[in-house]
Amino acid sequence: MPLILPPPRPAASFPVLARDAALPAALRGAVVAIGNFDGVHRGHKHVVAAARRRAAEAGRPVVAMTFEPHPRAYFQPDVPLFRLSSAAGKARLLAGLGIDALAVLPFDSTLAETSADAFEDDLLIDWLGASDVVVGRDFHYGARRAGSAETLRQAGAAKGFGVTQVAALDSGGTTISSSAIRDALVAGEVEAANAQLGHAWFVTSTVIHGEKRGRELGYPTANLKLDPACGLKHGIYAVKVGLDGRWLDGVASFGRRPTFDNGAPLLEVHVFDLAESLYDRDLDIVFAGFIRPEAKFETLDALIVQMDQDSRDARAILNRA
């Protein structure tokens, strides 16, 4: 499939609503799409698209409601969670779908203990004044997941808002889900993950100083630390690099550098045909394809020969995409 790049970062004026923030009058009565939206994959896009259609029919704005941190991080704080998108990345992707605002609820003890009735009354009705609510498959809300799409329909009928539950999407017979996409990335199956996402998986990070070994090998790299819970397969990838509104081609290594120090995982990105310094700059790294697993080389000459081949392979993947 063609490589679909992430949308631009939302403008500073894009409304991101905190729980205690007053709702702008123009957003009251919105159609509200609710979800964790980790990765904003095709299934999530389906939910937002349904909300936008309903809003267009009714002449209403669209608000996406999501939660930070991910509820699983609250209930299982000691279990690392490989998130597909950071909070900022999720907001960027949702804004790119044409919503009018993003409502971000802090997932803390207060929210975890909020009853289903209070969720409906305090958040959907009193805060947002929702005219319609759109949810995905297996939707639950309220303390101990007491609320479901069916209880929400009943509440809507009694309290004056409509409810739409969107059916699950599948890809090749497999239901599209954040868990399935994580599994694909753990296996290095970037193209399969991208097909389920509906856009290329990407990370955003700031370039840090490293050992500058790449420069000595003829392949200067931008070094970026990712979330320690990132489960991406260690290996070599073809990437697009977003820098100041430009998209550049490159090749990246994610892993522990077994030839040198076998240290903490690091993303090292070589941008083709770029001479400018990247230190302390924010980069978007878009993963287009997996080239090979990480490996240890006995000599630097052998490593350079392989890096030459990796670069050729990356260029070929990016040309196809």
CATH number at residue 283: 2.40.30.30
Dump pLDDT digits (tens) for 1-31: 789 999 999 999 999 999 888 999 999 999 9
Any domain includes 110: yes
- Cα gap 249→286, rounded to integer Å: 10
In DSSP notation, 66-100 reads: EEES-HHHHH-TTS----SS-HHHHHHHHHTTT-S
Do 69 and 131 belong together in one domain? yes
Last residue of a domain, one of 151, 171, 191: 171
Domain count, the chain: 2
Any domain includes 310: yes
- Angle between the N-to-C axes of helices 190-197 and 178-186, in degrees from 0 to 180, rounded to the nearest 10: 160
Do 61 and 151 belong together in one domain? yes
pLDDT band at 261; cut points 50, 70, 90:
confident
Do 46 and 155 belong together in one domain? yes
Mean pLDDT (whole number) for 25-48: 97
**What pLDDT score was predicted for residue 275?**
87
Tell the burial category of 133 from Cβ atoms under 10 Å away from its Cβ (0-12, 13-18, 19+). Answer: buried
**What pLDDT score was predicted for residue 241?**
98
239 — phi, psi (to 5°)?
-135, 155
Any domain includes 44: yes
Do 222 and 80 belong together in one domain? no
Do 166 and 209 belong together in one domain? no
**What pLDDT score was predicted for residue 162?**
98
Dump pLDDT digits (tens) for 275-292: 899 999 999 999 999 999
Do 158 and 48 belong together in one domain? yes
Do 157 and 221 belong together in one domain? no
**What pLDDT score was predicted for residue 217?**
82
Any domain includes 38: yes
Do 242 and 167 belong together in one domain? no
Any domain includes 190: no
Mean pLDDT (whole number) for 117-137: 97
Any domain includes 179: no
Dump pLDDT digits (tens) for 44-78: 999 999 999 999 999 999 999 999 999 999 999 99
Contacts (Cβ under 8 Å, ≥6 apart) of 186? 82, 231, 232, 233
Average of per-residue pLDDT values in the chain = 95
Any domain includes 180: no
**What pLDDT score was predicted for residue 262?**
78
Q: Are 127 and 138 in contact (CB under 8 A)?
A: no
SS3 string of 155-206?
Answer: HHHHHCCEEEECCCCEECCEECCHHHHHHHHHCCCHHHHHHHHCCCCEEEEE
CATH number at residue 77: 3.40.50.620
**What pLDDT score was predicted for residue 173?**
74
Full residue range of the structural domain in which residue 36 is found: 16-171
Question: Taking the model in full, what pTM does it have?
Answer: 0.95
DSSP 14: S
**What pLDDT score was predicted for residue 20?**
80
Dump pLDDT digits (tens) for 166-209: 998 877 777 899 999 999 999 999 999 999 999 999 999 999 99
Do 164 and 73 belong together in one domain? yes
Do 152 and 215 belong together in one domain? no
Dump pLDDT digits (tens) for 214-260: 677 889 999 999 999 999 999 999 999 999 999 999 999 999 988 88
Last residue of a domain, one of 133, 149, 171: 171
**What pLDDT score was predicted for residue 174?**
78
Do 74 and 130 belong together in one domain? yes
Q: Are 236 and 317 in contact (CB under 8 A)?
A: no
**What pLDDT score was predicted for residue 46?**
96
Do 111 and 48 belong together in one domain? yes
Any domain includes 3: no
**What pLDDT score was predicted for residue 175?**
85
Q: Is the pLDDT of residue 210 over 80?
A: no
